[in-house]
């Protein structure tokens, strides 16, 4: 008999409740509404269904299933116990628990004294397990007012909104290369421009692409047609869009890979993110986890196919950076996201996610405090005008911006006059422009344009002969092959753009001019990409929402009953009371025995209900058994009370010691 036929035979032996348990744990198979047990077996052994079932197993179940698959036809309970070192009482109990869980998933089932695994399964582990991995201790909880987490989540949520906004501004003002993906070198360059670490910038990039603010087009990462409206929206709406998109990110954090890469079917980042939020959602209103490493360890053990240690730590750090988790608890914003993902109304205390997000961002700031140490401090998130002014001449974010000569020169390159630049700074300065900032702007303007680059291919000219001699002798400018063309002119072998870039790289502040001497204002042309449609997968069926077609409750009961009726119709004229007792006895005896097959359990239950005799083999030591002909009369607490022998003596037998049950041979 093949394994699929053996699976069908085992399914036929199940009662309605046991079959319902299988359909409940294998929801994808139940969703197909099979019309027969053979069709159900086809669904249960499909590759996609097996993958989903195995991904939902904890580490202990994976250890046992891997051992069963490796043993093949030789798998039975005794061999498994020896292979996994389950010799003690506790080990046997754990093996029994795991086998029952695997049987409820229809991944293994009894066959005589052995155990068969579903066809199509391959070894799950790189090396055979030597024991069943024990479950870690449950994460310890502590009391904590729920408002503390909300207040602690404000600063990181504000920082993330500001970071994504500055990222979109950066891609609008500068060209960011993105061909097969955003490479690590380009990602580090952007992180340097934004003054943030690479991990945070990668999250900002992926969030911006998921929301539809950035898109790869023509080899560049460009703002989309949605980005302008998003940047002009209130801060709460911007934060709400980001936190709603976060659980959909399928890339797995913690890996060295390019950003903005088309996801593969093996990416499990979305399930890891939802798993973290769902675990924190189990906390009470005024509870928090004491240690995050205990939460990570539990998640890694409960779903190792989804949660890797480093990736889960990174996911938790992302949730904290968005204000979803803080101080070991789920914030109001995190609860709103979980509620929306679970299909409930996206509300927290009657408010929408955007309304909850409004409590996690400070008021928008329209002014900044310009200080003599060449910094600008912003109390809150800068509005669009303040961000535009500071972005012209300063670098930074998260409330602190620093004025630099390079920033002022960048503004002068864009055609801004120094007086107009100082006037714009004054319009957003809460206490005026300090003399130090004004001196920086004036000094940069004095030096700006002393050198001009003329495209002939090309010429460098200046009215200062000493400066011209200095440039001609500069070793770092050797690639330009500069040569005198006149009293105030040098010829360059490189085009004007390359000559300008190299002169600026070594510390000079040249300005570009046309062939007729008119100044050329360098402007990066604004481009808008079309947001990617369908680039990312939505939340998959094993997540909060599913796809709306899962069966539950009465539907599962009806399907299980229909399958049993079609394959194994109910016997007529069976007294309901006796039938109920027989089914209850079957259920109890099956749970109390690791050795007996289903047919033997049913035979023993029938003898118990009808008070008929059966022949049993009872363990007498590790490798021997003694046979008895008994008439069961009672069953309680794992003990079977029966009469045996010619005098009908009453004896008790442990159900776990019974090795076989047979019909009494007639003389």
Return the CATH number at 646: 2.30.30
Domain co-membership, 271 together with 374: no
Q: Residue 539: its pLDDT value, please?
A: 45
Which pLDDT score, from 0 to 100, does residue 548 have? 47
The answer to whether residues 256 and 228 belong to one domain is: yes
Q: What is the mean pLDDT of residues 350-354?
A: 70
Percent with pLDDT over 70 in the chain: 88
Asked whether the predicted pLDDT for residue 363 surpasses 70, the reply is: yes
Q: Which of 25-39, 103-117, 267-281, 536-550 has the lowest mean pLDDT?
A: 536-550
pLDDT of residue 382: 79
| 176 & 311 share domain | yes
* Domain end among 117, 136, 160: 117
Ranking 170-179, 193-202, 315-324, 547-556 by mean pLDDT, the lowest is 547-556
The mean-pLDDT minimum among 5-9, 121-125, 449-453, 626-630 falls in 449-453
C-beta of residue 584 within 8 angstroms of C-beta of residue 592: no
Confidence of residue 167 (pLDDT cuts 50, 70, 90): very high
Per-residue pLDDT, 517:
67
Q: Closest Cα partner for 375 from 355, 390, 392?
A: 390
Q: Looking at residue 378, what is its pLDDT?
A: 81
Question: 432 and 336, same structural domain?
Answer: no
pLDDT of residue 140: 94
pLDDT above 80 (res 77): yes
Residues 156 and 291 grouped into a single domain: yes
Domain membership flag for residue 567? no
In a domain, 561, yes or no: no
Residues 19 and 83 in one domain: yes
Per-residue pLDDT at 551? 66
Residue 279 shares a structural domain with residue 401: no
Average pLDDT, the chain: 82
Rounded-to-integer distance, Cα 211 and Cα 190, Å: 19
Band of the pLDDT at 550, cuts 50, 70, 90? Answer: low
Please report whether residue 63 resides in a domain.
yes
**Rounded average pLDDT over 576-586:** 67
**Residue 541 domain flag:** no
Instruction: Locate 345 and state its tokens.
Output: 């109304």
More confident residue, 388 or 568: 388
pLDDT at position 329: 93
Query: Among the listed ranges 189-193, 232-236, 371-375, 589-593, which one has the minimum average pLDDT value?
Result: 589-593
Task: For residue 526, name the pLDDT band (cuts at 50, 70, 90).
Answer: low
Instruction: Report how far residue 70's alpha carbon sits from residue 84's, in angstroms, rounded to the nearest whole number.
Output: 12
Residue 557 lies in a domain: no
C-beta pairs of 338-345 under 8 Å, 24+ apart in sequence: 338/277, 338/278, 338/281, 338/544, 340/244, 341/247, 341/274, 341/277, 341/539, 341/543, 341/544, 341/545, 342/544, 342/545, 343/544, 343/545
User: What per-residue confidence (pLDDT) applies to 649?
Assistant: 80
Give the mean model confidence (pLDDT) for residues 393-408. Answer: 78
What confidence tens digit (pLDDT) does each residue in 207-225 have?
Answer: 999 999 998 888 889 999 8
Residue 156 lies in a domain: yes
Please report the pLDDT score of residue 343 as a whole number: 59
Q: 174: which 2 tokens? A: 């500068």
- Poorest-confidence range of 101-110, 181-190, 387-396, 597-606? 387-396
Calculate mean pLDDT across residues 408-432: 82
Instruction: Choose one of 486, 508, 530: the last residue of a domain.
Output: 508
Could you identify the residue written with the tokens 């969703």?
Answer: 31
Q: What is the band of 138 on the pLDDT scale with cuts at 50, 70, 90?
A: very high
Question: Are 325 and 382 in the same domain?
Answer: no
Give the whole-angstrom CA distance, residue 338 versus residue 365. 31
The confidence band for 445, taking pLDDT boundaries of 50, 70 and 90, is confident
Q: Span 367-371, mean pLDDT?
A: 84
Q: What is the pLDDT of residue 532?
A: 63
Q: How many CB atoms lie within 10 A of CB 454?
A: 23
Structural domain boundaries, residue 374 = 369-446
274, with CB counted inside 10 A (0-12, 13-18, 19+), is buried
Contact between 605 and 581 (Cβ < 8 Å): no
**Domain identity same for 238 and 100:** no
* Bridge partners, residue 452, by sequence: 461, 511
Same-domain pairing of 97 and 159: no
Res. 516: pLDDT tops 50: yes
Count how many domains the chain has: 5
At residue 48, does pLDDT exceed 60?
yes
- Residue 364 domain flag: no
Rounded to an integer, the average pLDDT of 534-559 is: 58
Picking from 31-45, 60-74, 255-269, which range would have the lowest pLDDT averaged per residue? Answer: 255-269
Question: Is residue 323 situated within a structural domain?
Answer: yes
- Res 309: pLDDT: 92
DSSP string, 168-181: HHHHHHS--B-SSS
Asked whether residue 276 carries a pLDDT value surpassing 50, the answer given is: yes
Mean pLDDT throughout 176-191? 87
Do 261 and 168 lie in one domain? The reply is yes
Q: Which of 102-116, 148-162, 546-560, 615-629 is predicted most confidently?
A: 148-162
């Amino acid at each position: 008999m093949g394994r699929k036929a053996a699976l069908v035979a085992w399914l036929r032996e199940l009662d309605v409740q046991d079959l319902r348990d299988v359909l409940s744990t294998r929801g994808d198979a139940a969703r197909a509404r099979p019309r027969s047990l053979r069709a159900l077996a086809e669904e249960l052994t499909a590759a996609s269904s097996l993958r989903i079932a195995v991904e939902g197993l904890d580490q202990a179940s994976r250890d046992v299933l891997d051992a069963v698959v490796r043993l093949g036809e030789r798998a039975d309970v005794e061999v498994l116990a020896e292979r996994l070192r389950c010799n003690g009482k506790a080990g046997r109990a754990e093996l029994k628990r795991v086998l029952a869980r695997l049987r409820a998933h229809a991944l293994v089932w009894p066959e005589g004294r052995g155990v068969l695994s579903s066809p199509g399964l391959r070894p799950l582990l790189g090396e055979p397990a030597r024991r069943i991995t024990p479950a870690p201790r449950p994460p310890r909880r502590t009391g904590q007012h729920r408002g503390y987490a909300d207040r602690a989540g404000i600063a990181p949520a504000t920082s993330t909104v500001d970071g994504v906004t500055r990222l979109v501004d950066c891609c609008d003002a500068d060209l960011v290369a993105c061909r097969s993906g955003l490479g690590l070198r380009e990602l580090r360059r952007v992180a340097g421009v934004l003054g943030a670490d690479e991990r945070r910038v990668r999250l900002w990039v992926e969030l911006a692409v998921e929301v539809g603010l950035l898109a790869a087009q023509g080899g560049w990462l460009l703002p989309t047609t949605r980005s302008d409206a998003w940047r002009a929206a209130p801060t709460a709406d911007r934060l709400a869009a980001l936190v709603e998109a976060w659980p959909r990110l399928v890339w797995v954090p913690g890996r060295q890979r390019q950003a903005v890469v088309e996801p593969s079917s093996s990416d499990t980042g979305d399930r890891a993110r939802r798993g973290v939020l769902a675990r924190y959602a189990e906390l009470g209103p005024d509870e928090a986890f004491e240690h995050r490493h205990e939460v990570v360890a539990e998640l890694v053990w409960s779903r190792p196919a989804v949660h890797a240690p480093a990736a889960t730590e990174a996911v938790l750090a992302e949730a904290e950076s968005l204000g979803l988790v803080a101080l070991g608890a789920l914030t109001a914003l995190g609860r709103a996201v979980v509620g929306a993902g679970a299909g409930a109304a996206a509300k927290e205390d009657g408010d929408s996610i955007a309304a909850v997000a409004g409590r996690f961002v400070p008021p928008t700031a329209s002014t900044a405090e310009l200080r003599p140490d060449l910094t600008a401090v912003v109390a809150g998130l800068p509005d669009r005008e303040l961000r535009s002014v500071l972005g012209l001449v300063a670098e930074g974010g998260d409330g602190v911006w620093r004025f630099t000569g390079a920033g002022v020169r960048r503004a002068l390159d864009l055609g801004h006059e120094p007086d107009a630049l100082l006037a714009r700074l004054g319009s957003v300065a809460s206490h005026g422009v300090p003399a130090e900032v004004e001196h920086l702007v004036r000094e940069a303007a004095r030096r700006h344009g002393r050198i001009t680059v003329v495209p002939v291919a090309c010429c460098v000219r200046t009215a200062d002969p000493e400066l011209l001699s200095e440039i001609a002798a500069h070793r770092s400018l050797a690639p330009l092959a500069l040569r005198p063309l006149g009293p105030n002119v040098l010829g360059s072998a490189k085009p004007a753009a390359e000559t300008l870039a190299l002169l600026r790289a070594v510390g000079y502040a040249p300005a570009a001019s046309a062939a007729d001497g008119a100044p050329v204002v360098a402007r990066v042309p604004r481009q808008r990409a079309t947001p990617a449609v369908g680039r990312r997968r939505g939340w998959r069926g094993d997540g909060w929402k599913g796809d709306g077609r899962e069966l539950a409750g009465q539907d599962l009961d009806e399907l299980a009953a229909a399958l049993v009726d079609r394959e194994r119709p109910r016997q007529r004229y069976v007294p309901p009371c006796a039938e109920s007792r027989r089914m209850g006895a079957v259920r109890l005896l099956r749970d109390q025995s690791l050795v007996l097959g289903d047919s033997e359990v049913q035979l023993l239950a029938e003898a118990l209900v009808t008070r008929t005799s059966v022949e049993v083999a009872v363990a007498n030591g590790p490798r021997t058994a003694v046979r008895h002909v008994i008439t069961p009369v009672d069953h309680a607490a794992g003990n079977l009370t029966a009469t045996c022998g010619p005098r009908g003596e009453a004896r008790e037998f442990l159900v776990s010691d019974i090795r076989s049950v047979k019909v009494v041979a007639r003389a």
